[in-house]
Amino acid sequence: MRPFHFLADAHEIVGGAELAARAQRAEQLGYHSVVLPDHLIGQLSPVVTMATVAAATSTLRMSAFVMNNDLRHPAVLAQDLASIDVLSGGRLDVAIGAGWNKPEYDAIGMRFDPTPLRQARLAESITVLKGLFAGSPFSFAGEYYTITDYSAEPVPAQRPHPPFFIGGGGRRTLSLAGREADIVGLAPRVLPNAIVDAASLTLAATREKIGWVREAAGDRFESLEFNIYPSTWPVTLTDDLRGEARRVIDALRSRTGIELTEDEVIDSPHLFIGSIDRLVEKFLQLREELGISSIMLGEIDELTPVLERLAGS
């Protein structure tokens, strides 16, 4: 059974000294990695943030959560990420997705292509990134990207490349993750209006997603690490578990028209509600039953008692 790897979110806009201090605290507490989303509003640049974290720490890993493939050409991204891997001594995870937040695209005048097109671009981009990380002349002729006899530098410290984290909530993206990722992020499905599909939050939906990954991964399935993260509802420590579950049910019904049961909310891999004891029990259950061992806990101090109970186990 894999040991737990806990991730901390570093999305707040803070100064360099404060960011370094937070990263150092995460390292001291035993977090595996500090991560942050990739958006153009309300946060620091993930590339700059990862470089700052690398400079401030010695064992902590770093990653986006996750890079929006549409915002950068893969050759530019390859240089940025390889540089961070070199500067950190091999502590980078390459986390990348197809992009999902349409209002953000609209705000900058970028066309928000249909999901199959964005996913096809992502698949090509992953091929390009791995090819450029190899350290030898690389050529690629795809529908979206063309690379001609290009030797990218620097070469990442981790060979043949840093671990790839690919996440999603739909079958196409999770099948891609099964074929190409080292770490698979299990996400709720996002509807075209950027609202999370409440039905995809459930334990049953997560089992189905892992089945898609298993089918695509074949013999490499046992080598994969699975990640989950809190979504659609803030991390809530409470002794009134069922009362909080009813509040979640009401909120999801009003947003999506879908009504989950109390047990579906309580068992959801993406809804972190309850006491510390309950969350410890939940994470142990998810690891035992589904093989999920990578968990993004939220902000650094949000669930420190859970980290202290489970880190290293």
* Helix (H) / strand (E) containing 17: helix 16-29
Three-point CA angle 308, 1, 62, nearest 5°? 55
Q: Decide if 225 contacts 2 (C-beta within 8 A).
A: yes
Structure tokens at 153: 């530098």
Q: Enumerate the H helices of 98-240 as residue ranges.
A: 102-107, 115-133, 171-180, 203-217
Structure tokens at 57: 């720490």
> Can you list the domains of the chain with their CATH numbers?
5-310 (3.20.20.30)
pLDDT of residue 251: 96
* Helix (H) / strand (E) containing 299: strand 292-299
Give the relative orientation of helices 74-88 and 115-133 as an angle to the nearest 10 degrees. Answer: 50
Q: Residue 65: how many CA atoms within 13 Å on its side-chain side? A: 28
Q: How far is the CA of 270 from the CAs of 2, 76, 126, 297, in angstroms?
A: 20, 33, 26, 10
> What is d(CA 202, CA 218) in angstroms, rounded to the nearest whole number?
25
- pLDDT tens, position by position, 163-193: 999 999 999 999 999 999 999 999 998 877 6
Structure tokens at 223: 């080598």
- pLDDT > 90: percent of the chain: 91
Q: Decide if 228 contacts 292 (C-beta within 8 A).
A: yes
Which residue in the block uniquely carries the two structure tokens 């770093």? 62
Name the residue among 157, 161, 203 with its Cα closest to residue 182.
161
Find residue 34's DSSP bridge partners. 8, 62
Structure tokens at 59: 């064992």
- pLDDT tens, position by position, 221-241: 999 999 999 999 999 999 999
Type of residue found at 290: L
Question: Which residue pairs from 243-247 have beta carbons closer than 8 angstroms and sit at least 24 positions apart in sequence?
Answer: 244/273, 244/274, 245/273
Specify the pTM: 0.95
pLDDT of residue 266: 98
CB atoms within 10 A of CB 181: 27
Strand 146-150 vs strand 138-141: parallel, antiparallel, or unpaired?
antiparallel
Handedness of CA 53, 80, 93, 115 (dihedral sign): positive
Tens digits of pLDDT across the chain (313 residues): 899 999 999 989 999 999 999 999 999 999 999 999 999 988 999 999 999 999 999 999 999 999 999 999 999 999 999 999 999 999 999 999 999 888 899 999 999 999 899 999 999 999 999 999 999 999 999 999 999 999 999 999 999 999 999 999 999 999 999 999 999 999 998 877 668 899 999 999 999 999 999 999 999 999 999 999 999 999 999 999 999 999 999 999 999 999 999 999 999 999 999 999 999 999 999 999 999 999 999 999 999 999 999 988 8
Three-point CA angle 87, 299, 158, nearest 5°? 25
